[in-house]
């Protein structure tokens, strides 16, 4: 499958309803976002880079509504979540919370981890502002995921304390890498999910089975999609807890991670080689298109 090596293009046009444009146009818009996001950005190692990326995200989300800057401190770690609440066509319905972390590991430009998730978040913000979803959608850029899920934990606990109900929390965690080989945490999973790393995985708590099926139906129209329901908050399979959905599991919410399976597939995970050149850009665009369809169906 083609992997684009280009890392610079002019800013694409934002005309059109939702993502109903030619695939190359969506891919170009995502690449434009990636070029703004793929830089070293870590609170202690490159705080200026993290601030620059945070500023860029706030500027893009701010085109579509008021952005809340949730300053938090969790277990001695401080940071800033950025939250945009889109009302949807029926503001009285329980919201869908769509999140992606914007920090990166030390010494890592963080293209797949997790600029792909944030780029999709930004592009979905544009699409949903133009064509609102049936229910409210809260777009959240999480800080301090790499240092221990601090941003998502801070927000999950705040919402729990406020008694805020959610239809579903959806975590976008690495969406842009494919491979001819796929590893699994359990050997038996290979027989169920296959040898090739050419699919997107939907990992959720078993109680969220119905929205997971909705996600699968919508995503599968755009990209090969595999489901993995887990029990007991993923405690028996810890690899399923390694993103911003797991604090929402712990707070009692239904939550799902959409992922290309991270280090189980991508050898560039937390390495300087996690660059735009390593990504499968058509795959990333297909995942984004499928997610927009899923949001309208949830």
The chain-wide mean pLDDT, for the chain, equals 93
Per-residue pLDDT tens for 166-222?
A: 999 999 999 999 999 999 999 999 999 999 999 999 999 999 999 999 999 999 999
70 vs 58: CA distance, rounded Å:
12
- Give the rounded distance of the alpha carbon of 289 from its chain centre: 13
Contacts of 210 (CB under 8 A, 6+ apart): none
Contact 47, 147 (CB under 8 A): no
- Rounded Cα distance between 200 and 284, Å, is 10
**141-157: average pLDDT:** 98
Residue 214: its H or E element: helix 209-220
Q: Which of 267, 264, 245 is nearest to 256 (CA)?
A: 245
Q: Which of 19-23, 64-68, 159-163 has the lowest mean pLDDT?
A: 19-23
Residue 76 pLDDT: 96
pLDDT score at 24? 84
Neighbours of 195 (CB within 10 A): 10
Whether the predicted pLDDT of 234 surpasses 70: yes
Mean pLDDT of 128-138: 98
- Average pLDDT of 84-92? 98
The whole-number pLDDT of residue 13 equals: 38
Sole residue written with tokens 């544009």: 126
**pTM of the predicted protein model:** 0.93
> What pLDDT is attached to residue 21?
59
The Cα–Cα gap between 166 and 124 comes to 19
The DSSP 8-state label assigned to residue 24 in this structure reads H
Confidence tier at 23 by pLDDT (50, 70, 90): confident
User: How far lies 253's CA from each of 74, 210, 256, in Å?
Assistant: 19, 14, 10
Residues above pLDDT 70, as percent of the chain: 93
User: Structural domains in the chain?
Assistant: 23-297 (3.40.630.10)
Region 290-295: mean pLDDT is 98
Residue 35 pLDDT > 50? yes
At residue 17 the predicted structure's pLDDT band, cuts being 50, 70 and 90, is low
Q: Retrieve residue 129's tokens.
A: 């502002």
């Amino acid at each position: 499958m083609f992997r684009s090596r280009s890392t610079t293009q002019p800013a694409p046009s934002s005309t059109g309803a939702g993502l109903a444009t030619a695939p190359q146009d969506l891919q170009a818009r995502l690449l434009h976002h990636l070029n703004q996001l793929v830089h070293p950005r870590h609170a202690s190692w490159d705080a200026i880079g993290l601030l620059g990326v945070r500023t860029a995200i706030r500027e893009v989300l701010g085109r579509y509504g008021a952005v809340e800057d949730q300053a938090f401190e969790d277990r001695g770690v401080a940071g800033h979540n950025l939250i945009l609440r889109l009302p949807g066509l029926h503001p009285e319905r329980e919201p869908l919370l769509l999140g992606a972390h914007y920090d990166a590991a030390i010494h890592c430009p963080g293209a797949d981890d997790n600029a792909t998730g944030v780029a999709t978040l930004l592009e979905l913000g544009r699409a949903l502002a133009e064509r609102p979803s049936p229910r409210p959608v809260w777009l959240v850029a999480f800080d301090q995921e790499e240092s221990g899920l601090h941003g998502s934990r801070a927000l999950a606990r705040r919402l729990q304390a406020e008694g805020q109900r959610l239809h579903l929390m959806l975590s976008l965690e690495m969406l842009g890498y494919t491979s001819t080989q796929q590893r699994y945490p359990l050997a038996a999973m290979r027989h169920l999910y296959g040898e090739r790393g050419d699919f997107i995985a939907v990992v959720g708590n078993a109680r969220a089975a119905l929205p997971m099926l909705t996600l699968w139906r919508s995503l599968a129209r755009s990209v090969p999609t595999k489901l993995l329901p887990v029990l007991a908050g993923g405690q028996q399979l810890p690899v399923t807890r390694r993103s911003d959905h797991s604090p929402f599991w712990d707070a009692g919410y239904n939550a799902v991670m959409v992922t290309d399976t991270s280090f189980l597939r991508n050898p560039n995970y937390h390495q300087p080689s996690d660059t735009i050149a390593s990504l499968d850009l058509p795959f990333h665009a297909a995942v984004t298109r499928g997610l927009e369809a899923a949001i309208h169906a949830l």
